[in-house]
Chain A
Amino acid sequence: MRRSLREGARVLVRMPAWLGDFVAAEPVVRALLARGCRVTVAGARRFEPLLEPHPRLGFASVERGVTPSPRAWRGHDVAIVLDGSWRGAWAACVAGIPERVGFASGARRVLLTHAFEPALERGATAIGNGVHGARPRRLPRPFSAACVELASSCGLEVTDRVPRVHVGASARESLDARLARYGVAADERVFVVHAGARPESSKGLPPDLTAALVRELAVAHAAPRVVIPCAPGEEASARRAHELLPGSILLDAPPLDVSELAALHDRAACVLTPDSGPRHVAHARTDAPTWVVCGSTDPRHTAEHGPHVRIVRVDVPCGPCHREVCPLAGDARNACMRRLEPRHLLDGARSVAGH
């Protein structure tokens, strides 16, 4: 396996379907290009602009939940399957790619020639968690680190592990123009607040809590203009936060695309976000103080974020559950978010901001 990723090798990288994981896996693509490999990235078309253009880099579109066409994948020497589905491993197998590398889980194991069994957690539940993960209790650990380990086991050294996200000139100009409509100068830094979330999402920040934190920061410091980006389907909560924050800028019509989202973080003085995809884009683009609120998610999954990021969460007996929608009712419903108080956030906020 170590000899397969040689200079000139044709390598297909099946990227994860989620924005955050896509960004976290980017250093592996860059390391392959630095090795001299010819790389085809297979992933969601909307994420393609996030990758820096390179003469040896190609892109094959694969949308979530759709089995890739093996025909498009033929001719590669190695497939590195970084997504969690069986489809990617199956397509690489049917495409006749001789070396297939990926994380072993379920049926995928037999489709891979180099199956990397993830780490496991054993014994009592980790301190701070109310419950442990479902069997076989995969150890929650940063996806970026797991990708580096997988690459390393194939002899690929990933020297620069901080993800990079490309921002084209058109995306930058488009964002600047949108902000200019609200009187934000081109050199003005803004407070990026990811207040949007799908209805009922257990990951989403409660708008009232978001507003309380932002207001408190504005009193304590000369806080910059608040900008609330919004993805499709997240309009309701984003608008509610916008209403609670007079003077904030809501970018919901139309929602930002991923390039504009990345460009927005270039202008961030600080960032507030739930534990979702945009936090990884922020990690790739800015060293500005960033506060990440983890509700239903285990922060160990993303604990490779640098010292400028502060994780804020409360311990709850039912979490981390990693469910999209909280299954509980009554007082227990969304406790991981509802039990957060502004003072919890502000403890972290003040320390990360260094004020």
Chain B
Amino acid sequence: MATPVLEAARAAVESASGREASTTPRFESLAIVVRSHLAPILHDGPCAPHVRAIRSDAEETAAYREIGADAVMLLSNSFGAAWRAKRAGVRVRAGSALSGRRFLLTHAVVPPSVAGRRAPIPSAHLMRDVAGLLGLLVPDLHPRLHVRDEIVARERERLARAGVDAASGYVLCCPGAAFGAAKLWPPARFAEALDELHARHGWRGVVTGGPGEEPLLDAVADASTSGVVSLSREARDLEGLKALVKDARLLLVGDSGPRWFAAAFDVPTVSVMGPNFPELTASSLERAAIVRVEGLECAPCLERTCPMGHHRCMNELPVEDVLDAARRVLARVGP
């Protein structure tokens, strides 16, 4: 979701003609400080040379000092991120005035509110607002990712070994969510949806996910009747996920990161959403459909596990709604 902002920053430092304001150079160099497990997301793209991977908070502070940063654009809303930037002595610190960190920032965005409470707005909008504080314009919020051909070939080969011909089309399913159990749609429903999509389009289901999600992936595959392939026993990484998403005809996903991979590669997506505000991710919806249970008193609760114990926001979400959303989003994209 942050890639448009990163791209605007990169263009601003790499190309004089890329600057929106043509007379005053804003910055001379760029370092994108990112947790090491997320760094592969930016591999193979124009921002890759600027990536500085860190493994801990201490490394983050040290990185700021070593770089000698004049300004930091905080795209994370956490208190800790702002605290570490201040502690490292970065003179200009721009970010959203959330998490009680306003006093740590030199340039701040106060998000919109309704009746005194923060109004949920797309995170992409907030990031663009923060970039604007540093004089960076982000004209297009559509994310872009890149993956090299050899990774794509590697994943195609892996699928072929599992009996899936990528050229014939497949539906990629990412049923997991690192956030917590509250975001999980029952595996049997995912399986039913994948079976029906196979019946309609002839696209096999392929299910993948992050570390620790193996039982969930297998549960989806075991519940299916159309030969859904689980990659639970394969080595999985974010670069491989990019390739898998890029080749898929449709992504069936919870409210999690792979949705943004699909947006970046213009792949149609159906995302099932439970405890979260849909407004927070309401950008790049051209090829995406969000499916949720409307009218629940308890939703969105933003909790990691259902505090009521019934998990109605997910358990009451019917497969038919997901299939209907898939039909609509595929029709929108065209053949």
Q: Which residues of A contact B15 (CB under 8 A)?
A: 351
Interface check B324, CB cutoff 8 A = no
Chain B nearest CB, measured from A130 CB (Å): 11
Number of A-B contacts (CB under 8 A): 151
Q: Which residues of B contact A314 (CB under 8 A)?
A: 21-24
In the complex the two chains form, is B22's CB within 8 Å of A347's CB? yes
Partner of A119, one of B112, B278, B282, B294: B112
Interface check B298, CB cutoff 8 A = no
In the complex the two chains form, is B92's CB within 8 Å of A299's CB? no
In the complex the two chains form, is B125's CB within 8 Å of A157's CB? no
Interface check A10, CB cutoff 8 A = no
Q: How many Å lie between the Cα of A181 and that of B125 in the bound state? A: 46
In the complex the two chains form, is A351's CB within 8 Å of B20's CB? no
In the complex the two chains form, is B22's CB within 8 Å of A303's CB? no
Partner of A303, one of B115, B121, B137: B137
In the complex the two chains form, is B133's CB within 8 Å of A127's CB? yes
In the complex the two chains form, is B295's CB within 8 Å of A3's CB? yes
Q: How many Å lie between the Cα of A148 and that of B110 in the bound state? A: 18
Q: How many Å lie between the Cα of A122 and that of B285 in the bound state? A: 30
Interface check B320, CB cutoff 8 A = no
Interface check A313, CB cutoff 8 A = yes
Of the candidate stretches A11-19, A139-147, A229-237, A267-275, the one touching chain B is A139-147
In the complex the two chains form, is A304's CB within 8 Å of B21's CB? no
In the complex the two chains form, is A122's CB within 8 Å of B112's CB? no
Interface check B218, CB cutoff 8 A = no
With contacts A303-B139, A306-B140, A348-B22 known, is A119 near B110, CB below 8 A?
yes
In the complex the two chains form, is A348's CB within 8 Å of B17's CB? yes
Partner of B21, one of A116, A117, A157, A315: A315
In the complex the two chains form, is A126's CB within 8 Å of B134's CB? yes
Q: Which residues of A contact B121 (CB under 8 A)?
A: 149, 152
In the complex the two chains form, is B26's CB within 8 Å of A116's CB? no
In the complex the two chains form, is A350's CB within 8 Å of B129's CB? no
With contacts A126-B134, A149-B125, A344-B22 known, is A115 near B114, CB below 8 A?
yes
Chain B nearest CB, measured from A18 CB (Å): 20
Chain A nearest CB, measured from B94 CB (Å): 8
Chain A nearest CB, measured from B6 CB (Å): 15
Partner of B17, one of A120, A140, A159, A350: A350
> Interface residue count for A (Cβ, 8 Å)?
52
Q: How many Å lie between the Cα of A303 and that of B138 in the bound state? A: 6
Main secondary structure of the interface of B (DSSP, over half): loop
**Range of interface residues on chain B?**
35 or more
In the complex the two chains form, is B286's CB within 8 Å of A160's CB? yes
Interface check B97, CB cutoff 8 A = yes
Interface check B108, CB cutoff 8 A = yes
Q: How many Å lie between the Cα of A312 and that of B108 in the bound state? A: 25
With contacts A153-B120, A348-B17 known, is A121 near B108, CB below 8 A?
yes
Q: Which residues of A contact B286 (CB under 8 A)?
A: 159-160
Interface check B158, CB cutoff 8 A = no
Chain B nearest CB, measured from A16 CB (Å): 18
In the complex the two chains form, is A157's CB within 8 Å of B290's CB? yes
Interface check A2, CB cutoff 8 A = yes
Interface check B141, CB cutoff 8 A = yes
Interface check A310, CB cutoff 8 A = yes
In the complex the two chains form, is B135's CB within 8 Å of A128's CB? yes
Q: Which residues of B contact A121 (CB under 8 A)?
A: 107-110, 133
Chain B nearest CB, measured from A209 CB (Å): 13
Q: How many Å lie between the Cα of A170 and that of B294 in the bound state? A: 44
Chain B nearest CB, measured from A261 CB (Å): 22
Chain A nearest CB, measured from B74 CB (Å): 12
**Contact string against A for B residues 122-162, beta-carbon threshold 8 Å, 1 for contact and 0 otherwise:** 10010011001111011111000000000000000000000
Interface check B36, CB cutoff 8 A = no
**Contact string against B for A residues 289-332, beta-carbon threshold 8 Å, 1 for contact and 0 otherwise:** 00000000001100111110111111100000000000000000
In the complex the two chains form, is A300's CB within 8 Å of B282's CB? no
Q: How many Å lie between the Cα of A118 and that of B114 in the bound state? A: 9
Task: Name, among B105, B125, B132, the residue most crowded by chain A CB atoms within 10 Å (CB to CB).
Answer: B132
Q: What are the nearest 5 A-B pairs in CB distance?
A: A128-B135, A351-B17, A127-B135, A120-B110, A122-B108
The chain A residues found within 8 Å of chain B, CB to CB, are 2-3, 114-124, 126-129, 139-141, 145-146, 148-149, 152-153, 155, 157-160, 299-300, 303-307, 309-315, 339, 344-345, 347-348, 350-351
A-B contact sample (16 more), CB < 8 A, given A127-B92, A128-B26 = A119-B109, A120-B109, A122-B97, A122-B108, A124-B92, A126-B107, A127-B26, A127-B71, A127-B133, A139-B132, A146-B112, A153-B120, A158-B282, A307-B140, A315-B21, A351-B18
